[in-house]
Amino acid sequence: MRPTRRPTANGMALRGRIAAVVEVRGCVVAACATALSAMPAGAGVSSSSFLHPLGPVAAAQKSLFYDINLLMMIVILPVFVFMPWFAWRYRRTRRDSVYRPEWSFSLPLEFLVWSVPTAVVAALAWLIVAREVPLGPYRPLASDKPPLEVEVVGLDWKWLFVYPEQGIATVGAFAMPTDRPVEFHLTSDSVMQSFFVSGLGSQIYAMAGMVTQLNLLADTPGRTTGRNTQYNGNGFHQQRFVVEAMDDADFAAWVEKVRADGVPLNDENYRSLAAKGTLALARAKLARPGMPADRIYFSGVPGGFFQKIVRKYASGPMPSSLAGPQPVAAGMVAAHEAR
Amino acid sequence: MDRLWFFFFGTLNYDSLPFYSTIATIAAGIVVAGALVTFGLITWYGKWTALWKNWLTSVDHKKIGIMYVVVAFVMMARAVVEASMMRLQQALSFDAPGYLPPEHFAQLFSTHGTIMIFFMAMPFLTGLINYAMPLQIGARDVAFPVLNSISLCLTGGGAALMMVSLVLGKFSTGGWSGYPPYTEMAFSPGVGPDYWIWAVTLSSIGTTFTGINFAVTIYKKRAPGMHLFRMPLFCWTSLCTAILMIFAMPPLTLATLFLALDRQLGFHFFTNDAGGNMMNYANLFWLFGHPEVYILILPAFGVYSEVIANFSSKVLYGYRTLVVATMAIAVLSFTVWLHHFFTMGQSSAVNAAFGIATMTIGIPTGVKVYDWLLTMFRGRVRFSVPMLYALAFLILFVVGGLSGVLLANPAVDYQVHNSLFLVAHFHNMLIPGLLYGMLAGTHYWFPKAFGFRLDELWGRIAFVCWVVGFLLAFMPLYALGLLGMPRRLVEYFDPDYLPYTIVAAVGAGFILAAFASLVVQLVVSIRHRDALRVFVGDPWNGRTLEWSISAPPPEYNFAVIPDVKARDAFHDMKRRGVAYRRPKHYSNIEMPMNSMLGPVVAIAATACVFGIVWHIGWMIVLGFLTVWGAVIARSFVRRTKRIIPASEVRRTEERWLAAVSKAPLIARDYETSPANRGLAEAAGA
Amino acid sequence: MSSIDKKHPGLNLGRSDPGAHQDAEEIVFGFWVFLMSDLVLFALLFATFATMIGRTADGPGPQEFFDLKSVAIESALLLISSFTFGYASLAMKYRPEPMKVVRWLGVTLLLGIGFLGFEVHDFVTMAGKGGTPQTSGFLSAFFALVPTHGLHVFAGCIWIVVMIVQTLAYGLARDVKLRILRLGLFWHFLDIVWIAIISVVYLRALA
């Protein structure tokens, strides 16, 4: 198993403490694994899961997952032990055990049953503050390289990836250079969808007329898959794509190949692409020789292409939502355009 | 001709019939045949009048409670079959289309979820509360008996609409939460979302009334001496559930009505364009949806509190703690709705706040689990069927708690949101949490309601199937979720998923067997009812007031309203030797008269919304006017009460007291033997 | 269990009709709980309106057609109707003859109908200027909030009619009194909601 990345100093501090019981942790995680009916470990792991991370976000989520399991054992194991024990020890057929039918309260016990869960929840809350907040989808990832901009459009039932700097776009596959952060801006030209690459990290909704953001990074070359997780109709199960993390040279070569083989992303081609249907259906209309079997390449993406799709729905000024100001829109689209 | 057709039948036509697929045709055939057979049998035995007079128009809380549970069981039958169909599909659909087309699969997960929440879980818990709560507080009925009947009938109307949707038209494919814009006209032009909207709306209005009714009953109808802090814990959880219903159902009603306005009249609440905002829907829906989780689970907590204390022959440990914890859960449940959409793009700080609030609910919940454990400590634990469910709950529920805490952490949620991990989590809460509780409650109170116990052996068989079925069906889903498999997949392409989906399908088979065992148990119990009779009314050496009267109880419940001196009132009465006392004198008892308002309102309301679904104008108008006309007409009915004369009360009570004096005192070792006629050896642990 | 001196919020019949007062305990409490639930509904309608205020989708905004003069008249009518209902309640409590109650209820009804008339006129005018709920999210929210209040007033008017008929038919019987008691709570509740509508919808949107 690869060593996991620690996103913050706070995380490290906790990790330090946990490292002291690292063997215990191993055992407990194994126990968890049994309890959860086989948490895959080692060989045979699905490459499309965060249990086999390709980048620091997924790796941090994985270690967070194990740490929470570990912490929770403090309150869960007693139930596993005491429930069968009490039930058996005080079974009716055993006449010689102590019987206190009117006993109903004990202050020390009461203190214990309130304080232990409270302490565990306090620790878990601290885990959120210390280790979740740095993992927020909107937070830029620290790196000495400038992030790669990718704009994502959710369609029925495929994802369109636009690389504005490179002037290219792809469907069905998404390539990224390793050790360089990728900054996604997402919208939908259809219903609400949820963009998710488990092996890299977080998922985030894509909604029409709004822009959401996601920051991910791959630190290992490799392949994984991503998909939409928000049900959006008959082709939902087909809405997946290949993610390829490669080094800078390979990425540059890939961009060139897309540019060479791609069809132009003009209005007509976009209409064909955006029509309701699976990737295969769109390929029947748009694919050219040279494009691999499971994808479509576009070149000559006009500037402001993504913004135009957002603007389609975002007419008039749009105030913030009940949920929080971030995923919206007018101001943000403008800021996005300015950049 | 076409215009005439439209006038009478709206958009209904031949294409609305389910002949587009064999499976749909068979399903519709079963519904129609089932309805015909039921009607036929009722007609054959000439039971229509009895059904109408004794049941449908009855406002007796006991009968209404029983009818709620019947609705729950009928709807559970359908939803369990649907669940098995989906598990089978996934076991067969690795890189293959399986046997269900995508649209049909989507209808299945939508109806399964909608039915299980609104037409299985809600009626089940409402039924149990209706039956037991007034008896436990020493009342003769709920505060508003006719309103109670209206609530029941509206829920029944919603359930009927769900069944009709199998035969006419296709149901929604938008899931039980019906997220727009997918469910908007632009993306779901059929009648499916309309069926969903109106079935849910009928049920949510009924549930709001139920909440008002229960809350007022508990505040105002308690017997003298039954202080709030002397109430059985089940009444406390009922009270919290009722309060949650009052506050949490309006957001749902509003969300569904907004969606209906969008779809039918072209409003722009949740549309993509013209300034609609789908995020408002997510907020409104989960502002209902999260408290709903506690509406579902709290009554089950109440049942467990009763069952564990009773079958440990011990007073409940930490009564006040449990009350405080229940209240805390109820209040906190309104502060966490955002955790259902951590991934909608709000800031990390907001997510963190809601994540921490969510985990805070884990504290009182954890305390409850420990209090139940301590209730067994130094008790005399009997492994009767209700207790078995409670024990299985204790173990399995904490597993659900663990996955809940994982989901409450936004960073982990970013990974498992919308995945089968989530599906496993909420089934983990709803099957061992809610359903086991409801089944435990059914076993526990069935002898009270019908006068005979349920068969023990088949109860145990069903229990084993439920536990094995749950473990096999849902533990693999946790693993699948971690492997990145999203929910609602009709087909998948990752070979790693296959073994897990096969195990889960086997588990679904066990759950089908569990449900079948319950049916067998009921049949066996009815056949052997004479050997199982417990007319005296206290088969389990109960501690609370409902056990102090005959089984089944008389219509008026208590000949004399009991004077409560302590918590665990009946236990206290038995200890002081004042149980089964002959009253000094009998007096007339005033009871509410039957009313046809409930069925009339519900039939008219269901017709009205059916008209909206299919654009049948006259049906909408007629239904609407009938609803309000009936309500106004009812207000002109002056004679709403009838008197049960003292002589009749005396006859009923004397017959029962005679049975009491003849019944053998039963020690707990012989609890499940035919000798048990419902008179418990008071000292017996 | 309820003594005559036990009070519930709102008008108490108290010693003027001990029997009805005792029955009111449960019934009026239940109605308060119902109003609470209804208030949640309105609160969410307000919240929805607040989030949709700017979502005019290039359509007309509040400045284009809110008519404050009309709103002022509507407010006056509704507030006065609450006052006249108060007289109906007092007459019910202290006067034995039902006609007094009927007369005050009649006045309240007329004021309510007047309110509805002006409100419907407002809506028609708005629609004439292109302000239909189909135009934008903002107008959808407006037409969800304000007409929901209007529908409540309409239901209240029908209820008043029913109570006038019942008062004439049965006199001030116990069940009639209890219904007027609840109708009163409902009617005053609508006034409070209306004041919130003036502040949140009309004044705020124009500010």
Specify the CATH number for the domain of residue B258: 1.20.210.10
For chain A, 339 residues long, give each residue's pLDDT as a single digit of tens: 333 333 343 433 434 443 433 444 444 444 444 444 344 433 333 468 888 889 999 999 999 999 999 999 999 999 999 999 999 999 988 888 888 888 989 999 999 999 999 999 999 999 888 887 778 888 888 889 999 999 999 999 999 999 999 999 999 999 999 999 999 999 999 999 999 999 998 899 999 988 999 999 999 898 899 999 999 999 999 999 999 999 999 999 999 999 999 999 989 999 999 999 999 999 988 888 888 888 999 998 998 899 989 988 875 444 333 233 333 443 334 334 333
Q: What is the pLDDT of residue A188?
A: 92
Count CB pairs under 8 A between chains A and B.
322
Q: Which of B213, B277, B638 comes nearest C55 by C-beta?
A: B277
The answer to whether B380 contacts A236, with C-beta atoms less than 8 Å apart, is no
Please tell me the distance in Å from B464's CA to the nearest CA on chain A.
Answer: 16
Asked whether residue B1 falls in the same domain as residue B81, the answer is: no
| Averaged confidence pLDDT in chain B | 92
Please tell me the distance in Å from C58's CA to the nearest CA on chain A.
Answer: 5
Q: Is the pLDDT of residue B365 over 70?
A: yes
Q: Are A262 and A227 in contact (CB under 8 A)?
A: no
Asked whether residue B17 falls in the same domain as residue B83, the answer is: no
The better pLDDT of the pair C34, A31 is held by C34
pLDDT, tens digit, 9 for 90 and up, residues B394-436: 999 999 999 999 999 999 999 999 999 999 999 999 999 999 9
The answer to whether A69 contacts B406, with C-beta atoms less than 8 Å apart, is yes
Give the up-direction half-sphere exposure of residue B142: CA atoms within 13 A in the CB hemisphere.
35
Residue type, B623: G
Q: Does B566 touch chain A (CB under 8 A)?
A: no
Nearest in space to B309 (alpha carbons), one of B542, B496, B469, B116:
B542
Using DSSP's 3-state secondary structure scheme, residue A191 falls into coil
Asked whether residue B612 falls in the same domain as residue B630, the answer is: yes
Q: Are B156 and B122 in contact (CB under 8 A)?
A: no
Residue type, B612: I
Give the dihedral sign, CA B134/B139/B140/B146: negative
Q: What is the pLDDT of residue C64?
A: 75
Compute the distance between CA of residue B199 and CA of residue B188 in angstroms, rounded to an integer. Answer: 17
The answer to whether A37 contacts B419, with C-beta atoms less than 8 Å apart, is no
Neighbour tally for B621: CB within 10 Å: 12
Asked whether residue B587 falls in the same domain as residue B678, the answer is: yes
Compute the distance between CA of residue A295 and CA of residue A293 in angstroms, rounded to an integer. Answer: 6
Q: What is the pLDDT of residue C205?
A: 65
Q: What is the pLDDT of residue A31?
A: 44
Q: Which of C25, C56, C169 comes nearest B275 by C-beta?
A: C56
Chain C residue with minimum CA distance to A314: C57
Compute the distance between CA of residue B547 and CA of residue A194 in angstroms, rounded to an integer. Answer: 53
Q: Predicted confidence band at B510 (pLDDT cuts at 50, 70, 90)?
A: very high
Q: Does A324 touch chain C (CB under 8 A)?
A: no
Q: Which domains does chain C carry?
A: 16-206 (1.20.120.80)
Compute the distance between CA of residue A135 and CA of residue B411 in angstroms, rounded to an integer. Answer: 6
Q: Does A107 touch chain B (CB under 8 A)?
A: no
Q: What is the pLDDT of residue C206?
A: 67
Q: What is the pLDDT of residue B678?
A: 87
Cα dist. B534→A140, A289, B204, B570, B663 in Å? 70, 81, 37, 17, 9
Two structure tokens written together for C35 = 């109003």
Compute the distance between CA of residue B331 and CA of residue B523 in angstroms, rounded to an integer. Answer: 42
Domain of B604, in residue numbers:
596-639
The answer to whether A319 contacts C136, with C-beta atoms less than 8 Å apart, is no
Please tell me the distance in Å from C63's CA to the nearest CA on chain A.
Answer: 15
Compute the distance between CA of residue A195 and CA of residue B441 in angstroms, rounded to an integer. Answer: 43
The interface predicted TM-score of the complex, written ipTM, equals 0.92
**Residues of chain A neighbouring B394 (CB-CB closer than 8 A):** 79, 83
Asked whether residue B359 falls in the same domain as residue B330, the answer is: yes
Q: Is the pLDDT of residue B667 over 90?
A: no
Q: Does A34 touch chain C (CB under 8 A)?
A: no
Nearest in space to B78 (alpha carbons), one of B137, B40, B30, B39:
B30
Q: What residue ranges do the domains of chain A occupy?
A: 9-135, 148-338
Q: Is the pLDDT of residue C30 over 50?
A: yes
**Residues of chain A neighbouring C58 (CB-CB closer than 8 A):** 315-316
Please tell me the distance in Å from A312's CA to the nearest CA on chain C.
Answer: 11
Chains in touch with C (3+ beta-carbon pairs under 8 Å) read: A, B
Q: What is the pLDDT of residue A315?
A: 58
Compute the distance between CA of residue B438 and CA of residue B432 in angstroms, rounded to an integer. Answer: 10
Domain count, chain B: 4
**DSSP category for residue A206:** E
Give the residue from B356, B371, B421, B470 with the most A CB atoms within 10 Å of its CB, the best one to mutate: B356
Q: Is the pLDDT of residue B71 over 70?
A: yes
Q: What is the pLDDT of residue A131?
A: 80
The answer to whether B219 contacts C29, with C-beta atoms less than 8 Å apart, is yes
**Residues of chain B neighbouring C142 (CB-CB closer than 8 A):** none
Two structure tokens written together for A303 = 């500037």
Q: Predicted confidence band at C3 (pLDDT cuts at 50, 70, 90)?
A: low
The answer to whether A104 contacts B371, with C-beta atoms less than 8 Å apart, is no
Chain B residue with minimum CA distance to A325: B346
The answer to whether C36 contacts B635, with C-beta atoms less than 8 Å apart, is no
Q: Is the pLDDT of residue B107 over 70?
A: yes
Helices A107-127/B319-332 angle, 10° precision: 20
Q: What is the pLDDT of residue B427?
A: 95
From the number of C-beta atoms within 10 Å of its C-beta (0-12, 13-18, 19+), residue A281 rates as middle
Compute the distance between CA of residue A8 and CA of residue A113 in angstroms, rounded to an integer. Answer: 32
Find the mean pLDDT for residues C114-141. 89
Lowest mean pLDDT among A312-321, B248-257, B580-589, B652-661: A312-321
Query: Rounded to the nearest 5 degrees, what angle is found at the Cα of B400, between the Cα atoms of B398 and B403?
Result: 115
Q: Which of C36, C48, C170 comes nearest B280 by C-beta?
A: C48
The answer to whether C51 contacts A322, with C-beta atoms less than 8 Å apart, is yes
Nearest in space to B265 (alpha carbons), one of C119, C92, C135:
C135
Place of tokens 């939908």: A188
Q: Does B250 touch chain C (CB under 8 A)?
A: yes
Q: Which CATH number fits domain A148-338: 2.60.40.420, 1.10.10.10, 3.20.20.220, 3.40.50.880?
A: 2.60.40.420
Q: Is the pLDDT of residue B621 over 50?
A: yes
Find the mean pLDDT for residues B525-529. 94
Please tell me the distance in Å from B391's CA to the nearest CA on chain A.
Answer: 7
The better pLDDT of the pair C129, A314 is held by C129
Residue type, A10: N
Q: Are B526 and B551 in contact (CB under 8 A)?
A: no
Neighbour tally for C107: CB within 10 Å: 17
The answer to whether B276 contacts C143, with C-beta atoms less than 8 Å apart, is no
Percent of chain B with pLDDT over 70: 99
Please tell me the distance in Å from C56's CA to the nearest CA on chain A.
Answer: 6
Please tell me the distance in Å from A337's CA to the nearest CA on chain C.
Answer: 20
Asked whether residue B393 falls in the same domain as residue B460, the answer is: yes
Q: What is the dihedral of CA C78, C84, C90, C94, to 10 degrees?
A: -160
Residue type, B381: V
pLDDT, tens digit, 9 for 90 and up, residues C65-75: 788 888 899 99
Q: Hey, which residues does A151 pair with through a beta bridge?
A: A162, A185
Compute the distance between CA of residue A154 and CA of residue B484 in angstroms, rounded to an integer. Answer: 19
Q: Are A190 and A231 in contact (CB under 8 A)?
A: no
Q: DSSP string of B96-151?
A: S--SS-HHHHHHHHHHHHHIIIIIIIHHHHHHHHHHHHHHHTT-SS-S-HHHHHHH
Compute the distance between CA of residue A120 and CA of residue B401 in angstroms, rounded to an integer. Answer: 13
Asked whether residue B635 falls in the same domain as residue B647, the answer is: no
Find the mean pLDDT for residues B345-359. 90
Asked whether residue B446 falls in the same domain as residue B583, the answer is: no
Please tell me the distance in Å from A311's CA to the nearest CA on chain C.
Answer: 12
Asked whether residue B475 falls in the same domain as residue B512, the answer is: yes
The answer to whether B479 contacts A230, with C-beta atoms less than 8 Å apart, is no
Q: Predicted confidence band at B588 (pLDDT cuts at 50, 70, 90)?
A: very high
The answer to whether C51 contacts A318, with C-beta atoms less than 8 Å apart, is no
Q: What is the pLDDT of residue A33?
A: 45
All residues at 6 or more sequence positions from B579 whose CB lies less than 8 Å from its CB, including other chains: B548, B570, B573, B682
Q: Is the pLDDT of residue B193 over 50?
A: yes
| Averaged confidence pLDDT in chain C | 88
Asked whether residue B256 falls in the same domain as residue B363, the answer is: yes
**Residues of chain B neighbouring C175 (CB-CB closer than 8 A):** 638
Q: Does B383 touch chain A (CB under 8 A)?
A: yes
**Residues of chain C neighbouring B247 (CB-CB closer than 8 A):** 36-37, 40
All residues at 6 or more sequence positions from B318 whose CB lies less than 8 Å from its CB, including other chains: A104, A105, A110, A113, B367, B371, B374
Asked whether residue B359 falls in the same domain as residue B423, the answer is: yes
Give the dihedral sign, CA A219/A225/A231/A236: positive
